Amino acid sequence: MSKTPLGKIPAAAIHLLDIPRYPKETIEAFLALGDLTGTVSDAMDELGLDGVVPASVLAPTLGERRIAGPALTLRNVEQRDQAYKGARERVSRMAEIEAHNLAETGDVLVIEGVVGISNMGGLSATIAQRQGEVGAVVDGGIRDIEQSRSIGFPLWSRGVSSVTGKWRLETVAVNGTVRICGKQVRPGDLVVADAGAVCFIPAEAVPQVLRRAQEIGEGEARRYADIAAGMPVAELARRTHVYKFDPQ
């Protein structure tokens, strides 16, 4: 697969860097967590990491899906020109195709976009799936969700809008640092998402977050077992079953 820019935006805006990718075992370990974003969010709190956006802000199109993968980032801004001028001249300045061109299997497309305008539609979702991307997170609007749902490609977004971004938005950077709902996301940071939230884990903190999330999950499983076994409420309140936390 070519990594050469397609010329849709200035080459200087495309960062052809080698973003971190994660071993298959790491991705599978996250996806095996019983409560994916719940335990990850708790672990990030304990580690002092601010990177969780609730599903009430970034809503999923396929609520039963959960994903984990490195962030492939893109930034859109509003065009200065009137949308009707672009529509008449058939000139689009959106270029998520540049991100799809850089994608590797397992990546998550993360778009800093514009609310109320579509930053990603059905064609883009279909290309993303073909390129091996496992999902997309959009701080802005999306459209054609019937198409993305029909092919099983999950998206998390600020909402659905049929107002096209083709004539209203401009892609200004690919594979650079973005801000998603106020959270900084760098290329290669690990994205985990499900029906409850989207979590952006800094690449260097992934091992610690995974270890602590597994500990929290094991502790909660033991509490559920105690509840099922009929343990009195007073005793349940005295037991946490969460291992002692050692940030080192």
What's the CA gap between 108 and 132, in Å, rounded? 9
Q: How far, in Å, CA of 117 to CA of 7, rounded?
A: 24
With 0-12 / 13-18 / 19 or more C-beta atoms within 10 angstroms meaning exposed / middle / buried, residue 2 is exposed
42 assigned ligand-binding residue: no
* The amino acid at 199: C
| Beta-strand runs (E) in 24-176 | 52-54, 59-60, 67-78, 108-112, 135-142, 155-160, 169-174
Residue 43 near residue 243, CB atoms below 8 Å: no
Length of the chain: 248
Which residue from 135, 86, 141 is spatially nearest to 113, judged by alpha carbons? 141
Q: Is 144 annotated as a binding residue?
A: yes
Give the residue numbers of the binding site for Mg(2+): 144
Give the residue numbers of the binding site: 143-144
Give the residue numbers of the binding site for substrate: 143
